[in-house]
Amino acid sequence: VFKEKMSASAKAISQERSAAAEKLAKDVEDLLDQLQMKSARFMVSLLKKTDPEGLVIDGEAYAFDSRGVDTAEFLIEPNPGEGFKPLAKIASGGETSRLMLALKHALAEVDHIPTLIFDEIDSGIGGRVGAIVGQLLWQLSRRRQVLCVTHLPQLAAYGDQHFHVRKETASGRTQTIVEELAGTERETELAAMIGPLTPGTRQSAQEILHSAGVFTGKIQAE
């Protein structure tokens, strides 16, 4: 009788997982569309392993553990016609970062990891999409600490803090220097990320900071 109750519970959990997997896949694909991965498709595969000593669900016995009878795997098809493959085996560095951003954003309410680090998330994207990435990262940072390494000013402008990292060599030793930038220094760095320092790039940096400030509420919209 106890095993029958476990089987019923495992079946109910499996059904809930299946529904949640479909919703997660849709939410992630919607976010990937915003992140310039419009053709990418995402799927959560729920697998079961047969075991004659396992829990019986709909006439089939499956192996189980404390989490039930399902094993979940994330599958991604970055481009049409390639077929779904495991996320860990197919995505490039930049794609992986964007996929993780989409996943973490979709799971923001239930994922309690305190610190997230994104590297190369701006790989292969331009300024317009970079601003969208910046907005998603800023929204994500309302619930946890988010660190992002980027060379894209449209993305960097959304950070609550901006650090410049550089290497210096002296007396045969190389050191990594990290400086926090604010005010005019931050504006100058963003302008340098755009191109050579000119009145034009400085104005562009000011406009990027203003747009980010309006979005985050630091600047009152006109």
Relative to beta strand 115-119, strand 85-86 is: unpaired
pLDDT tens per residue across span 180-217: 999 999 999 999 999 999 999 999 999 999 999 999 99
The full 3-state SS of 5-73, as one line of letters, equals: HHHHHHHHHHHHHHHHHHHHHHHHHHHHHHCCCCCCEEEEEEECCEEEEEEEECCEEECCECCECCEEE
pLDDT tens per residue across span 103-123: 989 998 888 889 999 887 887
**pTM score above 0.75:** yes
The sheet carrying 71-77 orders its strands as 41-47, 71-77, 85-86
